[in-house]
């Protein structure tokens, strides 16, 4: 049996806390998506580490992570990532984009990204799943019409790529999820996050002066009262990435 290979395109720097407790964000994704008989690699693309062209074909799928960077920026590594995603589209490789990954995937496919008019969205959000999806991906998995997810973003996909389909929305964000063909999908929220990771990230954003103390306190209080549908999101992501949808 041929071993299936997947790659995490890491767009963020791991904090010492996440490294120690979870093995970095790479470890977080492998714990959620990895299964026996698979090989998972990591490319730290934010540091300029990319797979060679002759390596790409050996992978069954790719996951693009979140980031503190802006998907609409023109940093060299972001431009290189966009070029890679265009190649993966041509090759019809499975690609799952999360948060920043969702946004940069939308940009690579011809959509538009930018700051969300409503500002930061941090905490739990209810995502409404599309009942008119041409692929009926949600009914196949017998998922409920709404799923709770952890959000942490101030940018969004403002305009859908041509030929892409919105498959999830919330009261805060119009494009929470999109699907492009059968091989690319973006999720604005963080199906991989635990409440612990979110609380740690709130502390980091506060230290970086990206949010203010009063907002951080408000979010922390609300976070303790909610729970994400992590198992449903895991099933959805695994089914998409590994050909079950």
State the catalytic residues.
99, 190, 192
Separation of alpha carbons 143 and 138, rounded Å: 5
Q: What is the spatial distance between Cα 229 and Cα 65, in angstroms, rounded to a whole number?
A: 19
- DSSP percent split of the chain into helix, strand, coil, nearest 5: 35, 25, 40
Burial of 70 (0-12, 13-18, 19+ CB in 10 A): middle
Beta strand extents in the chain (DSSP E only): 4-9, 38-43, 61-64, 94-98, 112-115, 121-129, 146-153, 155-159, 164-169, 177-180, 184-187
Residue 38: Cβ-neighbour burial (10 angstroms; 0-12, 13-18, 19+): middle
Asked whether 186 and 103 are in contact (CB, 8 A), the reply is yes
Give which of 62, 66, 73 is closest to 14, Cα–Cα: 66
């Amino acid at each position: 049996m041929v071993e299936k290979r997947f790659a995490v395109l890491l767009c963020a720097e791991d904090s010492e806390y996440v490294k120690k407790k979870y093995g970095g964000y790479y470890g977080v994704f492998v714990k959620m998506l990895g299964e026996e008989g698979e090989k998972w690699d990591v490319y730290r693309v934010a540091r300029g580490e990319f797979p060679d062209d002759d390596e790409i074909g050996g992978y069954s799928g790719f996951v693009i992570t979140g980031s503190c960077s802006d998907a609409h920026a023109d940093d060299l590594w972001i431009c290189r990532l966009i070029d890679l995603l265009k190649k993966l589209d041509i090759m019809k490789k499975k690609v799952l984009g999360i948060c920043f990954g969702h946004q940069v995937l939308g940009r690579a496919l011809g959509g538009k990204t930018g700051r969300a008019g409503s500002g930061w969205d941090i905490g739990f959000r209810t995502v409404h799943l599309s009942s008119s999806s041409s692929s009926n991906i949600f009914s196949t998995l017998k998922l409920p019409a709404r799923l709770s997810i952890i959000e942490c973003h101030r940018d969004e996909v403002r305009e859908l790529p041509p030929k892409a389909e919105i498959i999830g929305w919330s009261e805060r964000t119009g494009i929470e999820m999109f699907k492009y063909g059968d091989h690319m999908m973006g999720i604005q929220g963080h199906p991989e996050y635990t409440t612990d990771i979110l609380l740690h990230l709130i502390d980091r954003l506060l230290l970086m002066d990206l949010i203010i103390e009063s907002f951080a306190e408000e979010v922390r209080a609300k976070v303790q009262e909610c729970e994400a549908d992590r198992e449903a999101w895991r099933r959805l992501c695994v089914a998409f990435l590994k050909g079950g949808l």
